[in-house]
């Protein structure tokens, strides 16, 4: 169902409130939003994505893509009796309808966040479902530890898109991401040459998400 319209204008912010958490948000635009933030009052932020994050997280695990369409997962089903604030910042001079999709009731949030990784210091990522390194460079270091303990150095700009194509159809030269929805990956060590933002998706129980994320 349509739950609102993102108002026209580059940089224009629209706030939409609901009393339930949608399973997915869907919108279609040829020019991506500048940002999308979803807060469940009392539980915390479950979505905080910039343009790059929306481009990548919005097509994860899709078998195909509706023209200019993006699906942002928020939960494993509709979560009722929650006060929700959705803030979307438009990137184009056009109204964008925003739809909420639900196919059952849920008990877990699908949390999509951005994180800054400092140059040369690196970061370790575990307990994630999807990790987008869309801003990575050819000389950045990516070491993947798999569930059985095998450690593999991965070429970020060549191997990551090739591996990702095994899990989803929308893949292009900048889809540098790791799909871990089947929990095959135990840890990813990412050490960039330059400071950059990465985007991570986690599954957390409904409740205080700050306590759920490790």
pLDDT at 212 over 70: no
Measure the CA–CA gap between 143 and 192, rounded to whole angstroms.
12
How many CA atoms, within 13 angstroms, populate the side-chain half-sphere of residue 25? Answer: 31
- In the numeric block, which tokens belong to residue 123? 């970061």
In terms of C-beta density within 10 A (0-12 exposed, 13-18 middle, 19 or more buried), how is residue 154 classed? middle
The pLDDT score that the predictor gives to residue 143 is 97
pLDDT tens digits, residue range 101-157? 999 999 999 999 999 999 988 899 999 999 999 999 999 999 999 999 999 999 999
Cα dihedral across residues 207, 46, 21, 203: positive or negative? negative
The overall pTM is greater than 0.85:
yes
Query: Other C-beta atoms within 10 Å of 191: how many?
Result: 17
Contacts of 37 (CB under 8 A, 6+ apart): 45, 47, 48, 49, 86, 87, 88
Residues in the chain: 214
pLDDT tens digits, residue range 2-57? 999 999 999 999 999 999 999 999 999 999 999 999 999 999 999 999 999 999 99
């Amino acid at each position: 169902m349509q739950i609102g319209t993102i108002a026209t204008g580059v940089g224009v912010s629209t706030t939409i409130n609901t009393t339930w958490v949608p399973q997915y948000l869907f919108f279609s635009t040829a020019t991506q939003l500048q940002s999308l933030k979803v807060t469940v009052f009392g539980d915390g932020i479950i979505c905080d994505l910039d343009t790059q994050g929306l481009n990548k997280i919005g097509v994860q695990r899709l078998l195909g893509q509706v023209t200019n369409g993006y699906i942002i997962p928020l939960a494993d089903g509709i979560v009722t009796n929650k006060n929700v604030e959705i803030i979307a910042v438009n990137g184009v001079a056009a109204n964008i309808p925003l739809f909420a999709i639900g196919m059952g009731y849920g008990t877990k949030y699908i949390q999509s966040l951005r994180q800054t990784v400092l140059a040369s210091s690196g970061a370790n990522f575990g307990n994630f479902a999807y990790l987008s390194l869309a801003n990575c460079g050819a000389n950045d270091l990516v070491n993947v530890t798999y569930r059985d303990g095998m450690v593999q150095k991965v070429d970020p700009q060549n191997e990551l898109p090739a591996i990702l194509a095994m899990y989803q159809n929308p893949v292009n030269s900048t889809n540098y991401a790791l799909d871990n929805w089947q929990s095959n990956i135990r840890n990813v060590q990412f050490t960039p040459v330059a400071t950059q933002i990465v985007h991570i998706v986690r599954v957390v129980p409904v409740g205080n998400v700050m306590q759920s994320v490790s």
